[in-house]
Homo-oligomer: A and B are copies of this chain.
Amino acid sequence: MTAPDPALVDLLGLVAYGELLAFDRLAADARLAPDLRRRAALSEMAAAEMANYRRVADRVVALGALPEEAMGPYVGALQAFHDSTEPKDWLEAVTKAYVGDAITDDFLGEIAGALDEPDRRLVLDVLHESRYAEFAAAEIRAAIAADARVAGRLSMWARRLVGEALSQAGRVAAADRGALTALIGRREGVDVPALFQRLTAVHTERMTAVGLNN
């Protein structure tokens, strides 16, 4: 067996740890749910993240690496992001999931474009779990419909999340063993400013779609 591509294992480690953290965060958010129906819905979405985690972890093992070692470098950086953006209530929790997870998914999706199959498809598959985004968007819209002042408070919270996410990106890059950067660079004709423009445009669209402003 040839040695696994370290850039690939690192990226899969980041994606796997992202799933594990999403599970943890959704499970904690479920406690903030205003009723049992929404609590159960969120708990099921959390469980779905673990099915994604298992797929990525199995691939890491198949590549001859250990999932816990592949995830290790990212623990501190991502934990710091979550510690600095602990939601105070249900609406902050769903906004964080709607805004934060989507921007992370978009970013990882761009990087995954540089992978060969089957890993490209695997990463895009596990990122493309949109059930929670739709659920979160419906919750935000309903809250704004019930009280228009909510839009201002949640817009401000969303801007703070993006700011923290950007500094998280910096921390992840610092934690990374050079592999992610290599992957981005490997992508043919990669244009980093254009990449950021795409990410920002999609983010703005997403905010507008639920009545929040940048």
Contact = CB atoms under 8 A, between A and B. Distances in A.
Interface of A: 20, 23-24, 27-28, 30-31, 35-37, 39-40, 43-44, 46-51, 53-54, 57, 67-68, 71-72, 75
Given A23-B27, A24-B30, A27-B27, 4 more contacts: A23-B47, A27-B28, A36-B72, A36-B75
Report how many copies the assembly holds: 2
Report, nearest first, the 9 A-B pairs whose CB atoms are least far apart: A27-B27, A47-B50, A47-B47, A36-B68, A37-B68, A44-B50, A23-B43, A43-B50, A36-B71
Contact of A67 (B30, B40, B46, B57): B40
Nearest to A68: B36
A40 B24 contact: no
B44 A54 contact: yes
Nearest to A48: B47
A52 to B, nearest CB: 10
A43 B24 contact: yes
A7 B40 CA distance: 22
Given A39-B20, A40-B53, A46 B71 contact: no
A44 B71 CA distance: 16
Contacts of A57: 40
Contacts of A44: 50, 53-54
25 contacts: A20-B39, A20-B43, A23-B27, A23-B43, A23-B46, A23-B47, A24-B27, A24-B31, A28-B28, A36-B68, A36-B72, A37-B67, A40-B53, A40-B57, A40-B67, A40-B68, A44-B50, A44-B53, A46-B46, A46-B47, A46-B50, A47-B48, A47-B49, A47-B50, A47-B51
